[in-house]
Structure formats: C-alpha cells, structure tokens
Amino acid sequence: MKPGSVIIDLAALGGGNCELTRKDDVWTTPNGVTIIGYTDMPARMASQASAMYSSNMVSLMKHVQGKGKASEFLGNVKSHLEAGEAGDIVTRSIVCCRDGQLVKMPPPPQPTPVKPKVDVAAKKKAEAPSPLKQAVFAALTLTLGVCLALGVGEGVKASQLTTFLLAGAAGYQAVWGVAHSLHTPLMSVTNAISGMTAVGGLLLMQRSNSTAASVLAMIGVAVSAVNIIGGFVVSQRMLNLFKKKGSEDWSSMMLVPGLIFIAVSLTHKELLGPVNTVSSVLCVAAIGALASQSTANAGCKLGMVGVFGALMATLVDMDAHLLYISLALLTVGGSLGLYVGMSVTPLQLPQTVAAFHSLVGFAAMSTSIGSFASNPEAGASMENISAVLGDFIGAVTFTGSIIAFGKLNGNLSSKPLTLPGKNFLNLAALLTQVGLTTVFLRSGEGLYGVVLLFVIALLACAMGVHLVGSVGGGDMPVCITVLNSYSGWALVAEGFLLGSPVLTVVGSLIGFSGAILTKIMCDAMNRDIFNVLFGGINNAPVVKSAGDEAPKEHTETSIDNVADLLASAKEVLVVPGYGMAMARAQTAMGEVANLLRANDINLKFGVHPVAGRMPGQMNVLLAEAGVPHEWVLEMDEVNPTMESVDVVLVVGANDVVNSAAQELEGCAIWGMPVIEVWRAKKVIFCKRSMAGGYADLDNPVFYKGNTDMLLGDAKKTADQLVSKVRERLERV
C-alpha cells in the first residue's frame, strides 16, 4: 500500500485479518502505512459519528446564519433563494421545496484551482542584499567606529579606551553564544549587573563637596540597590525553574570567591584595583556561562560575586560616616528589591525588567548631574561630555522604561501613540538636545550648567515618553532589548565620567548585549530597528488581504475530537503564544505533555523567537509548568521536520504561525520567519475567537483543509483537554 494509507482491522479482536495488526494499538509501518487494531470499535463509533455529525451541523447553521442572530436564519435562506444563481450555493442546496414548488438544485461547485506554490526561499534569496552592499556597509560602520575612537582618544586615557574596546569585544562574543531559551535570564542578569550604577553613586558620595551632588548620589545608590538585589533574585528564580527534579546543583560553590574579596578588601587595600578588575572579568564570565542550561546557574552566581566585589572594593575605601550612610542606603534599597524579586511571577517578568531598567536610567541621570554639580566647570572636557551623555541616555531610559512598564502591565494602551508629525517632533527634539549640549559645553559653568543639565534631562524624559509611546504592544520585545542596551551605554558614560574601569567594562558588556538581542529580535520579526523605534517611518501601506474577498469557511472541532487525535498520534507539536500566557494555561499544557509522553507519544514544544513579550519568555513559562527544556525546540529546529508531525496544537499564537508571511506579499508580516504549522498532517488552533493577532491580519491557515478551530478560553479548554486526554489514554 502507498505511504499514508490507513488499515482499520475490524477483526482485531479475533487476531486480525492483517498479519501486522497489533491488538488495541495504532502503529505505523516503516513504509508509512497506519494500522488500527482497536477491539472496541463499535463502542467508539457512536460517539465519534455523533461528534462529527453535530460538528458538521453546527458549521452548516453558522454558515447560513452568518454574523447575525439566530432569528435571521430563515431570512437569510429566503434572501439566498431569491437571489438565484447569485445566492449562496450551500444555502440553496439544503432547500428542495419552497411554496409547494420543487427548487432546482444548483450545479455542483467546481474545485478551486490549485495556486502555484511560491518558492519563498528563492524569493528571499533573490531579495538578499548583494555582497558588495554588505561589504560597503561593513566598511562604513568600521570606519565610523575607528573615527569615533580616534576622536575621543584625545580626551580619554588610553587605558580607559582600551578597556572599553576590549570589554565590548569580549561581551560581543559572549552574548552571541547564549541560547535563545536563556534570553530572558540573560536580560535579567545583565539588568542586575547594571545596578553597578551604585558604584558610581558611592564614588560620587566620596568625592563630592556639594550637598546637592551628595543627595543625588545617595538617590542613585538606593535605587541601584533595588536593581541589584531584585534583578539577581528574579534571575535565580527563573533559572531554578529550569532545574530537573532531583538533580543536584552545586553552583553555590561559585560564591566562595566572594569571601576572598572580603578578606582582600579589608586587609590589603593596595589590591582594591585588582579586585575591581577581577570583578569585571567575572561579570563577563557570567554572561558567557549563560550559553547553556548546564552552566547558567553558575553564571548567575558569578555575576553576583562580580557585583559584590566591585561594591566591596568601593565601600572599604570610604570614610566612616559615609560608609554607614552607604550601608543604610544599600540595605533599604536591597530590601525593597528582595520584596519585588520574590513577589513577581514569570508572567510579570517583562514589566518587571522594564521597571528595573527605569531605575538604572534614573541612577545614571542623577549621578551624572551630581558629578557635574560637585565640580561645575565649563568646557568640552571628557568629564562634561560624559556627564551630558549619561544625563541624556539615563533620562530617555528612565521615562521610556516607565512607559514600557505601563504598556506591558496593562496600565497604558498597547496601541502606538500617533501624534501629528511625530517624526518631525523627534528630529526637532534631537536638534534641540544638540543645541543645549553645545551651549552646556561652551558656557555651562556653575549653577547655569546644572540648570542646563536638568533642562536636558527634562527634554530627554519627554523624548523617552514619546519614543516608547509610539511603539505598539507587539513590538515591546524589541523595545525592552533596546532599553537594556541604553542602560549599558549610560553606565559606560558614567564610567568615563568617574574614571571607573569596572563601570566601563560592565556598561559596554550590557550595551552590546542589548544591541545583539535587539538585532536577533528584529531579524526574527523581519523588522527594521528604525521602523520599530520611530513608529513605522517609511513603512509601505499595509496589505490586509490577497484580493480574494469570497467568504471563507473554517471547520470547528470539539475537545473530544482533539483528545482522540492526540491520543492516537505518534508525533505532536505544541506551539505556545502570548494568549497561553495571558490565560495562564501553561500548567495544563504541561500536564497534557506529561500524559502523552508517558504513553510513548513524542510531544515537543516549538517556540518562536518573538513569542511572548520579551525574548525567551515562553521558555520560562513552560519551565514553570514543569516542562523539561529538552522538550522545547526553536523555530529552526521544528520547521524542517513539520511534514512528519501528526498533530500541531497551536495555543494562543497567531502571527508567529501565519502563512500570510509567505503567501501575501506586502502584508504587515511579509517576510517574517514563522513556524510553518500548515505543513503538518493536522493543525488545531486553540484560541478565543477567529480574530487576527497583533498585526490585525487574517490567518489563511484557519481555512486550510487540514486545520480545525477549537474556540474558547485557552485555560478552560486546556483544563478540559487534560481530563479528556487522560480518559482516552486510559481507555486505550
């Protein structure tokens, strides 16, 4: 028989008419023939036939009824009959007699002509930039980088510039190696490390001779402590979710070097410089260790030790009265961070990370202003340039992160802010910033210079509100990674300002980390970073349909049918989306996975890079549900073998599985890499309604012949599916 054929052996109870029949089992031969050997087939037939009949009848009634109420059913039938050949063929076919007269049946519908398959790969390959353009772009980028380095080299110590460049190169290599499933812990760890702004605040407290500068420094220390403790607590909680039950974890041994830092800092102050250097290296090693699940926990501990060492080296060199104040500030801020870190759930991670970013930005802004206030001399010195850059970047990060928090937390609308001429507003604000910076560097002395920095900060805060407000909710994953990068560059400016190598190293590490994650996210969404950040500048008009306006029919299914499909399958793929997270259905899906796995059904999860509201969020949610990370695959791992999958269950996802990305040129997601679920043997969509995703684009997969829709709340549906799957498996 041909591959794909199915043999139903009705004589399985007596040994079977087929030699290969296995009693009470369904299996597939090496040549692709499925043999069903159920012995309780009569008991199955009634429920199966009833379910299929009821599903077909419901679909028919919905088709005739349309979008109107049930009372409009007969009116629709009448109107279609009166329309003659222009009326709906399905409605006309179900009426055989009207007013005592025989109704002429319409001719049978002709099969839809098969559309030629579009070679998407070839099209993408043709659209790829030429090697010449790529080489020119790379050369220009490198040239600008060299010019920038040479331009600042005159005012910066060679050691500082070398430290920055080498740290950036090391961080660049380390971040590229981090697994996609660990991108969320990566952002959380780098966010905690960016709390090194506390070191800048402590240095400013120690050097300042101005009350105002000291107050700003103290504020920076307190909010940075919230970031450090809260960030590491959240990171460790996430990584604990990935642990296998019963596995031993000795990564806490990595905290031992912290004891050495204490001993050296208290007894050999001449070694405080090397302590800072080692702390910087440990922070880089922390990022590198996040490359795999086996070393991720150790990486988090290395980051803790690195930050602790830098703080310790700074504290022991302070005067007694400042030391007590600093410890009090760190304790208060750390306690608040501990409370926040222990309170948040995995679903709240995106907004929590955004909130922590705002603290880093505020600390950098206050420390930059305070540093200048302690020595308010005009001039284009590296200290003043660093102060204005730290002030500007910190302020944008501060308010931008607050807006991102509001959108992710539901306090603000996720729709993009569309002010008239918004791009001209951005340009005008940027030119104003350049003008204010020029005035500050030329004549910003004393109180006048401090006031200018506050004005720059206020305008930058407004820019942060407008820039992030113009970003839609679906682009928030990119926005968060950009803000993560901003916090790093603010830290670099603070490092140059205060002459702190450890701040320069950590800042460049975080800056490059956020930039790389931003590139990964933009590539996964096929988006241009400028279009995301500036609200769609130069976007072409969005196409929403393929020109085929004919009514489309979808097929709905029931939980019983889906349970039967899953229980009889051999290969199952679950594609989770943000809808699953919002419905908190991950625990139920974890139970379904465990049930099927326990019955030798190979179930995997396929996660799209931008599923959720930040990189890797779906992986964390699945880990919370007890799903081993070995069961979770990336998009590039599931697409090549999609034809061999018996059932794909899409839970709360839409745009990331939308075939319009390959079939509808010019649409909002055209060219975006997606999980190609439609190539599987059977696709089940578990979603609330037939509405489109964030892109507001109809999904052609809904109407394909191998797709069924299981509509309803994802949480309730998943809970019912658990019990039905368990029931079916027990019966088998």
Q: What is the pLDDT of residue 17?
A: 87
pLDDT average, residue stretch 365-394: 85
pLDDT average, residue stretch 628-634: 87
Cα–Cα distance for residue pair 660/656, rounded to 1 Å: 10
- Output b/e per residue, 94-106; b: 16+ Cβ within 10 A: eeeeeeeeeeeee
Active-site annotation, residues: 578, 613, 694
Q: How many CB atoms lie within 10 A of CB 676?
A: 21
Q: Which of 37-51, 454-468, 595-609 has the weakest average pLDDT?
A: 37-51
Q: What is the DSSP string of 57-97?
A: HHHHHHHHHTTS-GGGHHHHHHHHHHTGGGS-HHHHHT--E
Q: What is the pLDDT of residue 729?
A: 82
Condensed to tens digits (0 to 9), the pLDDT of residues 601-616 reads: 899 999 988 777 777 7
Condensed to tens digits (0 to 9), the pLDDT of residues 254-270 reads: 777 777 777 777 677 77
Q: What is the pLDDT of residue 575?
A: 93
Q: Which residue has the tokens 């999958």?
A: 645
Name the range with the highest mean pLDDT among 125-134, 190-199, 329-338, 482-491.
329-338
Residue 152 pLDDT class (50, 70, 90 cuts): low
- Output b/e per residue, 356-391; b: 16+ Cβ within 10 A: bbbbbbbbbbbbbbbbbbbebebeeebbbbbbbbbb
Q: What is the pLDDT of residue 447?
A: 85
Architecture of the domain made up of 559-731: 3-Layer(aba) Sandwich (3.40)
Q: What is the pLDDT of residue 112?
A: 53
Is the per-residue pLDDT at 332 higher than 90? yes
The one-letter amino acid at 411 = N
**Token digits for 468?**
């992030």
Condensed to tens digits (0 to 9), the pLDDT of residues 675-726 reads: 999 999 999 998 877 776 655 677 888 888 888 888 888 788 888 889 888 8
Residue 540 pLDDT class (50, 70, 90 cuts): very low
- In the chain, how long is the greatest CA-to-CA distance? 108
Q: Where are the domains of the chain?
A: 1-42, 60-104, 158-243+251-533, 559-731
To the nearest whole percent, how much of the chain has pLDDT over 90?
12
Q: How many CA atoms lie within 13 A of 604 on its CB side?
A: 17
Strands 34-36 and 6-8: parallel
Residue 123 pLDDT class (50, 70, 90 cuts): very low
pLDDT average, residue stretch 217-243: 88
Average pLDDT of every residue of the chain: 81
Is the per-residue pLDDT at 219 higher than 80? yes
Give the distance from CA 568 to its chain's centroid.
33
Q: How many CB atoms lie within 10 A of CB 531?
A: 15
Is the per-residue pLDDT at 126 higher than 50? no
Top pLDDT among 404 and 422 is at: 404
Name the range with the highest mean pLDDT among 69-83, 230-244, 538-552.
230-244
Q: What is the pLDDT of residue 650?
A: 92
Is the per-residue pLDDT at 156 higher than 90? no
The DSSP letter of residue 100 is: T
Name the range with the highest mean pLDDT among 453-467, 480-494, 626-640, 703-717.
453-467
Q: What is the DSSP string of 423-467?
A: HHHHHHHHHHHHHHHHHHHHH--HHHHHHHHHHHHHHHHHHHHHH
What are residue 649's DSSP bridge partners? 574, 684
Condensed to tens digits (0 to 9), the pLDDT of residues 656-683 reads: 888 888 887 777 677 788 899 999 999 9
Is the per-residue pLDDT at 432 higher than 80? yes
∠ CA(228), CA(229), CA(234), 5° rounding?
105
Q: How many CB atoms lie within 10 A of CB 141?
A: 10
Top pLDDT among 513 and 395 is at: 395
The one-letter amino acid at 48 = Q
Q: How many CA atoms lie within 13 A of 413 on its CB side?
A: 5
3-state helix, strand, coil in the chain (%, to 5): 65, 5, 30
